[in-house]
Chains A and B, each alone.
Chain A
Amino acid sequence: MTDLGWIDAAVAAARPQAMGALLRYFRDLDTAEEAFQEACLRALKAWPQNGPPRDPAAWLIFVGRNAAMDDLRRRNRHVALPDEAELSDLGDTEGTLADRLDNEDYRDDIVRLLFVCCHPELPATQQIALALRIVCGLSVKQIARAFLVGEAAMEQRITRAKARIADAGTPFETPGAVERAERLGAVAAMIYLLFNEGYSAPVAEAGTRAPLAEEGIRLARLLLRIFPSDPEVMGLTALMLLQQARVAARFDDEGEIVLLEHQDRSRWNTRQIAEGLALIDKAMRHRRPGPYQVQAAIAALHARAGRPEDTDWAQIDLLYANLERLQPSPVVTLNRAVATSKVRGPAAALALIEPLAERLSGYFYFHGVTGALLHQLGRTDEARLCFDRAIALANTPAEASHIRQHLDSLGRQSA
């Protein structure tokens, strides 16, 4: 490992702020990207010799802006370039520029940068790809690998997304309070999608896709830093940390899904759990519940249980009931049914989800959960039908093999 690892990290950390400011100057994603690229190249030359600048983001913005303006001038008016030495002489200018980077600008720059990536006209996968490229700075090759497509196809997808954004026009005026809140909501949704692309990947793809989950957490922390009092941003960050904390225990050596109740809890990441619990604690003090907070609170109850039998299912059942009110969805009710079955038994849970049969008929989990409840009630034949349907709908081999274990246990019982 090179001693210069700090440079990569400093550049990556400065990227959202620097890209956000450069986008504000040039009002064009490609120009901003080229300017940032150029600034990074110069940083790689200058920083190892001179040591880290006091404010890496300010350095990159200043150098990137100058380089891009020179480039524009050269292309447009054939004006001679200033001396390289003059450009790199940042001793004094860096300080004053850092002072001028006003806090509000900083916040709006980053939100705008994130927000252009979640333009409502872009499909979710393009939003995520664009955010990974523009905000996180992943290479097209890395993103292509994560999405299991070829590099050329991903390049094209990103180019198309950029063109669409350019057509739609980027909002450069300073947003009002309502607009800022709307942007925040769109950005939070995009970050959670990005996280789930990594988190829900099957084990065979986990190596290439896991970084997506980590990028999601980094973006959420960034968002929380600029909106430190927003309980839903705290909830989102906590939710992702508490889920990610279980990642090492989610698959067994054969790549099979390990359900929460069978996971080896000693493999859970205690630091991520501690951070998630601290954040949800903070969020709860605001008494302004929202869907991310409630989901994080549910994840927190699982994280706090040392053993599966210590889980506070009654509280989880109540939280799901809350979530049903905040964000009504048959999938939420389905999740609630699992908690309900632990508190009030399988019959009560079954009564909760039977009305969903039509809407969730194509949903793997619905048939899995219904089958398990019927099984508990001793209605073996109906359970078998549900499990057969679930297998037919399984998205991954791991899901199918999990249901097959249920079927095997049915077989053993009737035998």
Chain B
Amino acid sequence: MLYAILCYNSEDAVGAWSREYHDDVMANLMKVNDRLAGQGRLGPVARLLPTTAATTLRKGRDNLVFDGPFAETKEQLLGFYIVDCASLEAAIEVAKDLAKANPGTGSYEIRPVAELHDHHLAADRQRQPETAA
């Protein structure tokens, strides 16, 4: 089974980390990453830019686009895409295509990625059939 592990924290607090503390934590995390990658068990790892850089597309007839992160508590995170886009406009277009393919309720938060480490899972890994929320 593949598991996604989603990281939550207060970005004010993480933004207030001292450089030493930041480097310490990153070095510690890297050890965990390296171990998992060495075992062929690690897929892509991403660090996202702060929520202040986010834009959200609310599905609906008009596909309302607003500034800021997804903030509803009555909907749940069901999946995510990593897409290469030349601009925010292009990313919004992709989200609109998704909304067209999957109309109704829900939202897409569009958050730029700060860092992407593209590890590869071991080749003999049984992949789940590709589906998306």
Binding site for B on A (CB under 8 A): 1, 5-6, 8-10, 12-14, 56, 218, 221-222, 224-225, 228-229, 234, 237, 271, 274-275, 278-279, 281-282, 285
Cβ contact within 8 Å between A225 and B52: yes
- A285–B53 CA distance with the chains assembled, in angstroms: 13
Chain A contacts for B24, CB-based, 8 A: 1, 5
Cβ contact within 8 Å between B50 and A222: no
B90 → chain A closest CB, angstroms: 10
By beta carbon, the residue of chain B nearest A6 is B13
Cβ contact within 8 Å between B15 and A221: yes
Cβ contact within 8 Å between B49 and A274: yes
In-complex Cβ contact of A8 among B10, B16, B66, B68 (8 A): B16
B124 → chain A closest CB, angstroms: 35
Chain A contacts for B16, CB-based, 8 A: 8-10, 12-13, 218
A215 → chain B closest CB, angstroms: 10
In-complex Cβ contact of B114 among A8, A9, A271, A279 (8 A): A271
Taken residue by residue from 12 to 40, chain B's Cβ proximity to chain A (1 for < 8 Å, 0 otherwise) reads as 11111110110010000000000000000
- A376–B98 CA distance with the chains assembled, in angstroms: 54
A281 touching B52 in the complex, CB below 8 Å, given contacts A5-B17, A5-B21, A271-B114 = no
Chain A contacts for B53, CB-based, 8 A: 275, 278-279, 282
- Interface SS, B side: mixed
Chain A contacts for B12, CB-based, 8 A: 13-14, 222, 225
Cβ contact within 8 Å between A237 and B52: yes
Cβ contact within 8 Å between A8 and B18: yes
- A100–B55 CA distance with the chains assembled, in angstroms: 28
Cβ contact within 8 Å between A9 and B52: no
- A8–B49 CA distance with the chains assembled, in angstroms: 22
Cβ contact within 8 Å between B49 and A1: no
By beta carbon, the residue of chain B nearest A222 is B12
Chain A contacts for B17, CB-based, 8 A: 5, 9
A281 touching B88 in the complex, CB below 8 Å, given contacts A1-B24, A5-B17 = yes
Check: B115 CB closer than 8 A to any chain A CB. yes
A5 touching B18 in the complex, CB below 8 Å, given contacts A222-B12, A228-B68, A282-B55 = yes
Check: B67 CB closer than 8 A to any chain A CB. yes
Cβ contact within 8 Å between B14 and A9: yes
- A1–B18 CA distance with the chains assembled, in angstroms: 10
B14 → chain A closest CB, angstroms: 7
Cβ contact within 8 Å between A10 and B13: yes
A300 → chain B closest CB, angstroms: 11
Cβ contact within 8 Å between B21 and A9: yes
- A282–B111 CA distance with the chains assembled, in angstroms: 11
**Top 4 A-B residue pairs of the complex, sorted by shortest distance between their CB atoms:** A13-B12, A5-B21, A228-B68, A12-B16
Chain B contacts for A12, CB-based, 8 A: 13, 16
In-complex Cβ contact of B10 among A13, A234, A282 (8 A): A13
| Interface pairs (9), CB distance under 8 Å | A1-B24, A5-B21, A9-B18, A56-B13, A278-B49, A278-B112, A279-B52, A281-B88, A281-B89
Cβ contact within 8 Å between A229 and B15: no
Chain B contacts for A278, CB-based, 8 A: 49, 53, 88, 112
Chain A contacts for B20, CB-based, 8 A: 1, 5
- A69–B55 CA distance with the chains assembled, in angstroms: 43
Cβ contact within 8 Å between A282 and B67: yes
Chain B contacts for A275, CB-based, 8 A: 49-50, 53, 112, 114
Check: B87 CB closer than 8 A to any chain A CB. yes
Question: Which B44-61 residues sit within 8 Å CB-CB of chain A?
Answer: 49-53, 55
Chain B contacts for A224, CB-based, 8 A: 52
Chain B contacts for A285, CB-based, 8 A: 65, 88-89
- A56–B16 CA distance with the chains assembled, in angstroms: 14
A13 touching B13 in the complex, CB below 8 Å, given contacts A237-B52, A282-B88 = yes
Cβ contact within 8 Å between B87 and A281: yes
A229 touching B88 in the complex, CB below 8 Å, given contacts A1-B24, A6-B13, A275-B112 = no
Q: Which of A218, A222, A278 has the largest number of chain B CB atoms within 10 A?
A: A278
B16 → chain A closest CB, angstroms: 4
By beta carbon, the residue of chain A nearest B23 is A1
Chain A contacts for B21, CB-based, 8 A: 1, 5-6, 8-9
Question: Which B83-101 residues sit within 8 Å CB-CB of chain A?
Answer: 87-89
A35 → chain B closest CB, angstroms: 20
- A9–B24 CA distance with the chains assembled, in angstroms: 14
By beta carbon, the residue of chain A nearest B90 is A281
- A228–B12 CA distance with the chains assembled, in angstroms: 15
- A225–B12 CA distance with the chains assembled, in angstroms: 10
B20 → chain A closest CB, angstroms: 5
- A218–B16 CA distance with the chains assembled, in angstroms: 8
